Every structure is written in C-alpha cells, then in structure tokens.
Structure 1
Amino acid sequence: MDIFEAKGIKPMLISEQLEPYDDPGSIFELKLDGIRCIAYCDDHTDLRNKRDMKLIPRFPELRDINKSCKEKCILDGELIVANNGLPDFYEVQKRTLMSDLFKIQLACSKLPASFVAYDILYYKDKEVTGLPLLERKSLLSDTVDESERISVSRYVETNGVMLFDLAKEQKLEGIVGKKKDSLYWFGKRTKDWIKCKLMSTDDCVVCGYIVKDNNMVSLVLGQYTHEGTLIYKGHVTMGVSLRLLNQQKYTVIDNSPFGYIPKGNDEAIWLEPNLVCVVESMPNDKESFRQPVFKGFRDDKTPRECINY
C-alpha cells in the first residue's frame, strides 16, 4: 500500500554516544528539544507523532505548512516550541495534553509551534527512502519553501566537534551526525545516525511516587531491558505537589512492579507502569541517574519503548 495513504510511519531511530566527533563522511545537525513528527503534506497537513497520534488539533497553527510544500510529500522532522529563543520541551508536552480549545488557542498565540524538517520520505507519488541522505537533503530543500511555521534543518559537513561546541554555547541539546550515504530505514536504529548530547535525556517508566517530609514529590523510575524486564533506575524530584501527576491517568497498585522493593523505597506509592516521563541528567555509567531533572510526561512513547541501553 502507498505509504502516504497508509500513514503509521515509524521514523528512523538515532543511536547515542557521549563524545562529539568529526567525520568527512558525515553531516552534522543541531538536535532540537521537541517532538519527533511525520508530516503528510498534500492539499492539507496531517501531522503525527511516533505513536501515530494526530497533532494538528493541539497545534492548529501548523495546519497550513502543506502550503509551503511545492509537491505532495512526507517529511520527517521536529515539532518545537521556542521560549525565549530556545526550544522548550515542557511547553510542547504541555500542549499535547490540552483538550480545551480556548487554552489551545491561547497557547498558540503566546508561544506558537513550528516544524523543522530534516528529511523527506515521499515525493510526488513515490517513496524516496532508498536515495542517499545528501540526495534527500537536496530534494527536501527544493520541495519546501520556508515560512514562519516550517523550516529546513541546516547542517555542516565533517565538523561535528565545532557544531557541538556551538550547541553548547547556545545551550541547545546537542547534535546529530548522519552518514552522507545513509538510506532511511523505517523504525530501525543504526549507527548511520548518531546523537551527541550535552545532557543525557532518557525516557523512563513511572513506577511509583514518594511524598517526602517537605512535601516534595519524587517519582520512582524504571526502564526495560532488551529482554523485557523492568529494572529500577532511581528517583527524580517532580516538585512540591502531585498536580502534574494527577493530570495523567494512572492506577495505584499494591506491590512494586519490579517484583521487589528497591532500597530507599519503603514509603513508595506503587503505580501500574503505564506512564512515561523524560529525565535529563549528567551522563554517567551507573545504574541510576546523576543530578536528574524532571522534564515532563510524554504520551508519544509507550513504556516498553523506554529501554535501558
């Protein structure tokens, strides 16, 4: 079936390493802190996240990005909301949870979203995923006329370390290196695309919470092994109330979802492992996170996608 009509595309995934690098066989792009999306553009725009959820109802300011595309196409990119000049993941996630039309319109006018395209998967009437990356990049630039709500990701060749230093200076998330001749593989993670991040960002399963003496709330975190076992990953402080958690759908359970009570979790309220949150931390080699910061909940990933690498 034609992939434009079928929808449900799983975007190509990115491997991770800690140190930036130079490579004459690669291009390097800035990594933006937003939501990975697939845009189906024809006589209207259908924008979907990795779980195939339609996003235009929550980001109506992006409904006309198809008018910036010269041909029918499918674009891979990042939906971002800039706040004080920098992408703000929390603002994006906050919007994905909204259902009130008035609040959505208010958010649109205050902090409008934009879509940054960095790949093209379909052009006119056929897939172009079998073309080398640089050919797809050229086709992407020829297809998209940039506007206020849609832009094309810029890149540099070879000089990943230089771009990483620039990202650090601008307080951005990091960079992505991509092999110039890489093809596009739906839903696969390969070493052809590698991200180097200033801070490590992990998707975690919310397995419980603890209310401390000072009313601070800590979330109990977990991730799955490749074999499907849920393992304990420590805590992250969410804030001074349960308000954010109570905006989510969760179920309290009697026993630890890990099958045992990890040390320091005797007072935990255990939850069914159905919620996903994002944790930013300093990179390390240990089982728990170093200086973790709660970045928000996300509904574009399933708990089973939270893998411990």
Structure 2
Amino acid sequence: MKLQPITPFEPILAARLPEGNQWIAQIKWDGVRMLSYCDGDSTELINRRGNRRTSQYPELAVQSSYFRAGSAILDGEIIALKEGKPSFHEVMRRDSLRSSSAIEAVIPQVPVIYMIFDLLYCDGEWLTGLPLSQRQQQLNERLLPHPHVQGVPSYTDPAQLYAAAVKAKLEGIVIKDIGSTYALGGKDKRWQKCKLISDLTAVAGGVTFRDGIVNALLLGLYGGDGQLHYIGHAGSGRLTAADWRELTAQVLQLAEDQMPFATIPQRAKGAFWVKPLLVFKIHYLEWNASGTLRQPVIQARVDLPPSSCRLEQRS
C-alpha cells in the first residue's frame, strides 16, 4: 500500500467529566481499535499496533462499499455484540483467528460492526490539522449505508451520556474537544475517557491446575525497575472450557523452573511457573492496598507484547 500505517491519537483517563461547552461525548465501545486504509486500489485494516487484520474482517475489506472517496484513512473500533451489548470476548473470537477456514466458519457466528468516529485522510489530503467538528462533518457526508458499518454518534451533554452508560452497564464514554486537531501518535487531555469498568492488560507468570486443566492465572505487570510485579490471580471470566484446554496445552510448553515475579505471590502454593509470554485483558473492580486487583475477571487473551503490560496502566 502507498498509505503507511499511523499510530492513532489516544484519550487519557479522567477521574471526572471535564466542564465547558467545547466538549462532545461518545460511547466507549468494548472492541478493537482499527484504522481502515484505502489508497484507491485496495483496502487494509490495521490495528493501533500496526498489525494487519484485513483477513479477519472480510466484510470490511472494500472501503468503497461504506465510504465515498478515492482514498481515505478512517479511525474507529470494531465491535461484536452479545445480548445487545459490546463484548470484547466476542470480537476477539474473530480478531485472534489466523486461518481462512476458521475465519469463514466463525463469520456467521460473530457478526461485527465497524464503529467509525474519525476521518484522518481523504482524497490525497491529510485532515488531521482540521478541528474535530470539520472532520466529523466530512465523515458523515461520505459514509455510505452498510450492514456492518456505523458512524459513532456524538452528544453535547457528556453528563447525560455518562448516566445512560451507567444505566446500560457499558464500558464508559470518551469526551473530546470539538475543536481538537488529531495528533498522530499523541495522547493528551483534548480526548479523555471516563470508565465505568476498569481494565488493563496483564501477563501470566504462573497458573494453577484443577484435574489437569488450568483453572486460574497468576498475573503481573512490569515496573520501571524492569521486574514483573504480581497483581493477583484470576480464574473467573469469559474463557470457555475449550479456551482453558487450549491454554493448558500452551502453558505446558512454557514451563519455567524459576518464579518470574519480583516477590512471592500470595497464591504461590501449587503454582506452575511459566515464561511470561501470554497476555490477557482483565476487568477489575479496584486496586487493593496490597497492590493486587480486587475481583479480576478474564475477558480474553490478546495479541500484545508482554512488555506493554506495565504498572503505569493504573494511572
């Protein structure tokens, strides 16, 4: 492709809603951040880490079917629904696949929607220097009706949308300065996220077994000292029996004699140490004073480097 992948703009975590008339709010979808690139000849879907995902979502592989332009870069999030709500575990059933036969088999089981919220490049021109209001206007004018694509609605009352998200038990909302430009690879307070559900990505440094099958993960995050710090164990979540069996086969190949954590975990008894290579998305209620997670829940295994699992996620 002629268009090179970019690193998208990211919101910062906010403890409270910002005040002022310049803010608009959008639902924070529990999905996979994805950019759609079309150079006029072909379309590529590339996630925020620069990994191609076009083959995983063939229904989105022709940008001209949902956006009217000769060339464009669109920013959004691919989601899958379960019981009418976005489910990260469901979308990962698509995103984690690599073989074409497996993808073809799961397409009817896990339909996806591409929720598009920004337009960065269009017909040979970069729009990142324009205010968000103008980018949104051009995006809405060019989006075409499509069964797997929607434009993300914006609301002028963040507090009202936040209350609606609470009622619906959604992940949270994103608040954006309507006059903000788009900083490639940036992250600042012009975009903010208020979460109802806290989450992070953590690496497994050990597991426990029940009847020969993994039944819990011992999780860690890397600190500034380069060491892996234990943050708790998780056995509940959205992993299926098949997921646990597959995970069991994987961890047996990653056996490690030495404990990888900086200090001995609370659940060290009966633990099976593994090389810290498997990364998971975890929902949790809050941090305990001991530095461990309260009520961690496993959402899915994710394709991220272990080095990205850092204690800074707490801020």
| Matched position secondary structure for 1:272 | coil
Does structure 2 retain, via aligned residues, the 8 Å contact 1:210–1:267? yes
Counterpart Cα distance in 1 of 2:81 and 2:249: 24
- Taking a change above 3 Å as real, the CA distance of residues 248 and 39 of structure 1, as seen in their structure-2 partners, is farther
**What are structure 2's unaligned runs of at least 5 residues?**
none
Partner of 2:310: 307
Shift of 1:40: 0.4
User: Quick one: which amino acid aligns to residue 64 of structure 1?
Assistant: V
**What are structure 1's unaligned runs of at least 5 residues?**
none
**How many residues are aligned here?**
304
Partner of 1:233: 231
User: Quick one: which amino acid aligns to residue 152 of structure 1?
Assistant: G
Counterpart Cα distance in 2 of 1:215 and 1:156: 47
When structure 1 is superposed on structure 2, of 112-121 and 16-25 the one drifting more is 16-25
Partner of 2:280: 277
Summarize the alignment of residues 1-309 of structure 1 with structure 2, pairs less than 5 Å apart: 5-41=2-38, 42-71=40-69, 72-157=71-156, 159-211=157-209, 217-226=215-224, 228-238=226-236, 242-246=244-248, 251-284=254-287, 286=289, 287-299=291-303, 301-308=304-311, 309=314
Counterpart Cα distance in 2 of 1:162 and 1:200: 20
Greater fraction of residues in strand: 1
Does structure 2 retain, via aligned residues, the 8 Å contact 1:23–1:160? no
When structure 1 is superposed on structure 2, of 54-63 and 253-262 the one drifting more is 253-262
Does structure 1 retain, via aligned residues, the 8 Å contact 2:94–2:110? no
Q: Deviations over 1:181-206 (max 9, x none)?
A: 22222222211211111110111112
Does structure 1 retain, via aligned residues, the 8 Å contact 2:79–2:87? yes
Q: Deviations over 1:133-182 (max 9, x none)?
A: 2121112112222321111111112x212101111222221100111222
Q: Deviations over 1:68-120 (max 9, x none)?
A: 21111101110111223221211111222223433322321232112111111
Q: Deviations over 1:119-140 (max 9, x none)?
A: 1111111221111221211121
| Matched position secondary structure for 2:52 | coil
| CA-atom RMSD in angstroms | 2.4
- Taking a change above 3 Å as real, the CA distance of residues 290 and 236 of structure 1, as seen in their structure-2 partners, is same
Does structure 2 retain, via aligned residues, the 8 Å contact 1:204–1:223? yes
Shift of 1:254: 1.5
Does structure 1 retain, via aligned residues, the 8 Å contact 2:214–2:245? no
When structure 1 is superposed on structure 2, of 10-19 and 67-76 the one drifting more is 10-19
Counterpart Cα distance in 1 of 2:102 and 2:18: 43
Does structure 1 retain, via aligned residues, the 8 Å contact 2:177–2:191? yes
Counterpart Cα distance in 1 of 2:23 and 2:288: 27
| Matched position secondary structure for 1:156 | coil
When structure 1 is superposed on structure 2, of 225-234 and 188-197 the one drifting more is 225-234
- Taking a change above 3 Å as real, the CA distance of residues 181 and 199 of structure 1, as seen in their structure-2 partners, is same
Identity of aligned residues (%): 30
Does structure 2 retain, via aligned residues, the 8 Å contact 1:18–1:283? no
Does structure 2 retain, via aligned residues, the 8 Å contact 1:146–1:152? no
Shift of 1:65: 3.6
User: Quick one: which amino acid aligns to residue 258 of structure 2?
Assistant: N
User: Quick one: which amino acid aligns to residue 290 of structure 1?
Assistant: R
- Taking a change above 3 Å as real, the CA distance of residues 10 and 285 of structure 1, as seen in their structure-2 partners, is farther
- Taking a change above 3 Å as real, the CA distance of residues 103 and 168 of structure 1, as seen in their structure-2 partners, is same
When structure 1 is superposed on structure 2, of 184-193 and 196-205 the one drifting more is 184-193
Counterpart Cα distance in 1 of 2:5 and 2:61: 19
Does structure 1 retain, via aligned residues, the 8 Å contact 2:56–2:94? yes
- Taking a change above 3 Å as real, the CA distance of residues 285 and 18 of structure 1, as seen in their structure-2 partners, is farther
